[in-house]
Structure 1
C-alpha cells in the first residue's frame, strides 16, 4: 500500500495516484452562510479539525477563483462574475511568548495586507492601521471587504498557563478586533474561527451582530467527515479494513448534529494503516492536566458530565473551568442535549472516541503515578490479567504498584489525601489500556463506580476507603444494590470486584472478587 501524501487546497483531499483525488465537498456551507445576506460569523472547533481549510474555501470563493471548485457544489451555485477583496488574518502559525512577539506578528500581518493590496498606511497604531486598510481597500476596489480571521485566540491559548500574560494578550487582540464594529459599512462578510468561545464582552465588545454557529445543528458537519462521507468518498480505501473499529477510534465528535470524524486522524490512518493517536499526539494537554490535579478532580467523573449552557458557551482566562476547557479543546463532546425548561438546556458530555479516551487517561496516569516505566509494564500485565480473568494477578499488579510509589511523592502531593485518588488510578489504567469502561454506570438501585467490558465478561467495581467506611462495605454494596442485574441478560460472565483502600497504609487492604451465578 502506497502512502498517501496529504494535499490541501480549498477543499479536503488525499492522493494515492498523481491523477486520483478524494474530495469531501463542504462548499455548500459557503452558500448557506451567504443565504443569510452576509454578516458576521464565528465558528469554534478543536485544533486540526479543518477550520483553516474552510477559511481558505471562503477566501477562494469570494476571490471568484472558479477553477478551484470544478465538480464541487459551489461551481454551479455561486456568482463567479463578482469578486470581493479579502483580508486574511491568521494567528495559526508559530507560538507567541510575549507582548513584544505579538506586536511583531500584528505588524507582519498589516504589512502582508499592505503588500497584497498595494496600499500605504498613514496611521501609527495597530487598530488604526487595520481600520485604514479596510477603508482604503474598499475604496480601491469599489467593493465591500471580506475579513477572514483564523485562529483568533491562539496567542491567548498558547500562554494560558501564564494568566497575567494571557490577559494582556487578550486586551491587545480585543483592541484589534474592536475595529470590525466601526468598519461595518465597509464590510461584506466576516468569518472568525478559533478553539475557544470567549464571551463577546471579552474579545468582541460591541459586535452584537456576530452569529456564533458553533452549536448550530445546521453547521454541525461543516468541519469533519460524516459516516456517509467516509464510506462514499473513501470507499476504495476502506476495502478490507474494520470499519467498526475505525468508527470506535476516530468518530464521535458532535455539536448538536450528526457525529463526525476528525479529518486529520482519518487521512493519516489511511496513510499509515495503523491505529494511532494522531490528533492527540499533535498537542500537549499539560495545562489541562495541571488543572485536574490542582482541583483534585475525580477522573472517572469525566466519563459523563452534565453541564448547563453557561459552562458550555463561555471561556475566559479570568475564570477557567475544567469542564469548559475539556469540551472546547475537543477532549469531550456532546453526547446529548436536554431541554427540560423553555430556554434552559443541559448537555451531557462524553469522550468522543477511543483515541481521546485512551490517550487523555494515559497522560493523566503519567501525572498520577510518576513512575512511567512501572506504569508501562503494569499496563501489559493488566491487559493479560483481564484477558485471562486472573483477578489475583490484577490485585497483585495494583498492590505492587501502590507499594512502589516513594513516600516522598506523597509529601509533595496532596492527591493521595482525597478519596478519588486510588479509584482514579484504576480507572485511568483501564482507559489507557483501551478497555470499554463506564464510570458512574447508572442502575435503578444506584450507580456503579466503574463497569468494565471485555469480550464475554463484565466486571463491576466498587471502591471504598476504610477510613471512611466499614470493612467489607464495598462487596456488601455490590450485592445489596444488585448492580449486576443491569447486565444479567447480556450473555456475559459477570464479576463483582470490591476494592478497599487505606489512606494511612497508602495501598489496597481488601480485594474481593465474586462471580455472579
Structure 2
C-alpha cells in the first residue's frame, strides 16, 4: 500500500485498495502560513506520526499524494524543501550511547538521501552540519520534523538518573534547531508529554505550543462530522451514541474528537472494545497511584491551574499531570477566576474509564484475573436485577479474596480511601455510569451508580472502635440525597456500606428503596 499523508486513513484490511480521506490539510496550510516553530502534544495512537509524514510529503513536493485534498490547490508545489525527519520510535533507548547511535543513523541516512557526506563527530555538531549543507546544496531552507521527541525520556521514566542524562542529551540536540534559525524554514516537534521549556527546550524559547490552541484542536483525531462524511458507506448499523460513549471525549479546548485508532478498528471489527488502552501499559502510572495512596474516585474531580498543567519533568512528575499528559484524563471544562485559568479534568470516555479502573482493581486487590472476572459478572447481575443479597455477597467476596500477604507488604488498608477506591473501580470497570463525589444541594454523595433506570446512592464509612452501625445509610437519608434523582422514570436505592479495618471487609451493609 502506498505511503499515505494525513488526509488519508484506511481501515485495517477492511476493504482492499480503497482509501478513506479525512482531510486535515486546511489546518496544515494555516499552520505553515502562521508560524515557524511548533510543538504539539497528543496521546499515543492519535495520528501524530501521520501528521509529521504529511508535512514531510508536502514540503518534499509530493503533489500526487494530495489529489482531492485542500492542500492540492493551496500549496506552492513549485518549491521542494530539504526535510530532516527525526523519529525516536525505532525501539527503546536504554542509554545515552544508544540515543546518540540512533540519532547519528538518522542524520547519516538523511545525508545519504540528499547526496552529501557528514564529517563532524559530535552529534549536535553533526546535526548542525547537516542543516547547513542541505541549505547550501538545495538552495532552500530546511524543514525539521521531530516525531516522538520525548520517547527516549519516557522509556526510562522509572530510572530517574538515566532519564535525566537522556534529557540532557536531547537538550543538546534540540538546541541546534534554535542555533540554525537562519537555515530553518519550518520545525515541528510532537510527542505525548509536554516537558517544560526550561528543562528541555531552554535553547528553543520561540517554540509555539499549539497543544491547547483551539484553532488546532481537531488537527489530530476525528470529529463526528468527519466520521459521517468520510466513512459514510460503512456506517450502516453504527450506534453513534455508543460510538461517542466509547471513543469520543478528548478535549483540546475546541471541538471534542474521537480517538482515530479506536474508530478505525471498531469500523473494521464492529465490536466495542478497548483497542487504544490495550496498546500500552500503564504500569508506571499504577505504581505512582499506589505510592501516593491516591483515592481513585478523585480522578473525576482533578483540577489543575495553568502552571501545573504545563509542568512536566523528570524531577517533578505529578500524578494528575501524568494522567492528563498520557491521555487517561482530558479537559472537561475551564474555569477563569481572578485572571487565572483552572482546568477541570475527567475521563474522556468509557473505554479509558473502564479499562483503567479494571487495571486499578487488579492492582488494589492483587487477586487473580479469573477471580476478579467471575466476581465482576456476579456484581453486574446483582445490580441489573437488582438483588441486594447478591450485591453484598459479591462485594464481600471481592475483599475476602485479597491475599493476606498483600496487606502485610502494603499499608493501603490503613487509609480509608482504599475501600471506597476498590468499590469505585469495581463498578467503573463494568462500564457503568459512576459518579464520585456527586454534588447535591445538601452535600456530596460518596458514589452514585446508574444502570438503565436504576440509581444506586452509596455512602461509605469506616467504623471506629465502637462499631456503631447504620451511620452511612442515616447520612444519605438525613441529607436527602435521593431528591436529586427523584423521578417517575427512576428506581432509586440507598446503600450504606461500613468497613471494619481489622477484618478488612464490609461489616455492615444496609439498603432501602426510596
What is the TM-score with the length of structure 2 in the denominator? 0.97
- 2:100 matched residue in structure 1: 103
Q: 2:272 aligns with which of 272, 275, 292?
A: 275
SS of the residue 2:464 aligns to: helix
Aligned to 2:380: 383
Shift of 1:186: 0.6
In structure 2, distance between residues paired with 1:405 and 1:76: 63
Q: Name the counterpart of 2:472.
A: 474
| Residue 449 (structure 1) aligned to one of 431, 434, 446 | 446
Match of 1:11 among 7, 10, 26: 7
Say yes or no: does 1:250 pair with 2:247. yes
Q: Which moved more, 1:487-496 or 1:315-324?
A: 487-496
For 2:22, which of 17, 21, 24 is the aligned residue?
24
Tell me by how many angstroms 1:470 deviates.
Answer: 4.9
Of 172, 177, 192, which aligns to 1:175?
172
Q: Deviations over 1:88-113 (max 9, x none)?
A: 10112211222232222122112112
Q: Whole-Å Cα distance in 2 between the matches of residues 154 and 139 of structure 1?
A: 31
Alignment partner, residue 422 of structure 2: 425
User: Which moved further from structure 2: 472-481 or 492-501?
Assistant: 472-481
Give the superposition deviation at 1:83.
1.3
- Equivalent residue in structure 2 for 1:413, among 406, 410, 413: 410
- Report the alpha carbon displacement of residue 12 of structure 1 after superposing the two structures with TM: 2.9
Q: 1:316 aligns with which of 313, 316, 325?
A: 313
Gaps (5+ residues) in structure 2?
none
The answer for the alignment partner of 1:508 in structure 2 is: 506
Return closer, same or farther for 1:290/1:17 CA change in 2, 3 Å cut-off.
closer
Q: Who is 1:34 aligned against? A: 32
Q: What are the Cα deviations for residues 485-512 of structure 1, in whole angstroms up to 9, with x where unaligned?
A: 1111362000011000011111101100
1:92 and 2:89 correspond: yes
| Structure 1 residue aligned with 2:157 | 160
The 2-side partners of 1:129 and 1:206 are apart by 17
CA distance in 2, matches of 1:361, 1:17: 35
| SS of residue matched to 2:21 | coil
Distance 1:299 1:17, change over 3 A: closer
Change (3 A) 1:208 1:7: closer
Matching residue within 337, 352, 355 for 2:351: 355
The 1-side partners of 2:73 and 2:180 are apart by 32
Alignment of 1:15-414 (within 5 A): 16-18=14-16, 20-36=18-34, 38-342=35-339, 344-372=340-368, 373-414=370-411
- Distance in 1 (CA, whole Å) between partners of 2:402 and 2:200 is 45
Q: Residue 108 of structure 2 contacts residue 118 of structure 2 at CA under 8 Å; is this kept in 1? A: no
Mapped to 1, the partners of 2:15 and 2:317 lie a distance apart of: 47
**TM-score normalised by structure 1 residue count:** 0.96
The CA deviation string for residues 370-394 of structure 1, in whole angstroms up to 9 with x for no partner, is 1122211111100100011001111
Residues 179-234 of structure 1 deviation map (CA, whole Å, 9 limit, x = unaligned): 11110011010010000000111111131211000000010000000011111211
Local SS of the residue matching 1:35: helix
Q: Secondary structure at the match of 1:504?
A: coil
CA–CA separation in structure 2 for the residues paired with 1:243 and 1:107 = 47
1:458 equivalent to 2:460? Answer no
Q: How many angstroms apart in 2 are the aligned matches of 1:418 and 1:228?
A: 47
TM-superposed deviation, 1:358 = 0.5
Preserved contact between residue 6 and residue 267 of structure 1 (Cα < 8 Å): no
Contact 1:159 1:166 in 2 (8 A): yes
Q: What whole-Å deviation, never above 9, does each CA across 1:274-316 have from its counterpart, x for those lacking one? A: 1111110000000000000000000000022111112211210
1:190 is paired with a residue of what secondary structure? strand
C-alpha distance in 2, partners of 1:246/1:6?
29
- TM superposition shift of 1:449: 0.8
What secondary structure is seen at the aligned counterpart in 2 of 1:291? Answer: helix
| Contact 2:82 2:134 (C-alpha < 8 Å) held by counterparts | yes
Offset from partner CA, 1:48-79 (integer Å, 9 cap, x none): 10001011111111111110100001111111
The answer to whether the Cα contact below 8 Å between 2:493 and 2:513 also exists between their aligned partners in 1 is: yes
Q: Is the 8 A contact 1:10 1:68 kept in 2?
A: no
Quick check: 276-285 or 14-23, which moved more?
A: 14-23
Residues matched between the structures, number = 510
Secondary structure of the corresponding residue to residue 79 of structure 1: coil
In structure 2, the CA distance between the partners of 1:17 and 1:465, relative to structure 1 (3 Å rule), is closer
Partner SS state of residue 337, structure 1 = strand
In structure 2, the residue corresponding to 1:346 is in which secondary structure?
strand
Shift of 1:403: 2.0
Separation in 2 of the partners of 1:404 and 1:80? 66
Cα-to-partner distance string for 1:240-291 (whole Å, 9 max, x where unaligned): 1211111100111011111101111111111111111111000000000000
1:332 and 1:351 in contact (8 A); partners too: yes
Name the SS for the 1:366 alignment partner. helix
SS of 1:352 mapped into structure 2: coil
* 3-state SS, counterpart of residue 400 of structure 1: helix
Q: 1:459–1:10: structure 2 CA closer, same or farther, 3 Å change rule? A: closer
Question: What is the Cα deviation at residue 9 of structure 1?
Answer: 3.9
Native 8 Å contact 2:366 2:403 kept in 1:
no
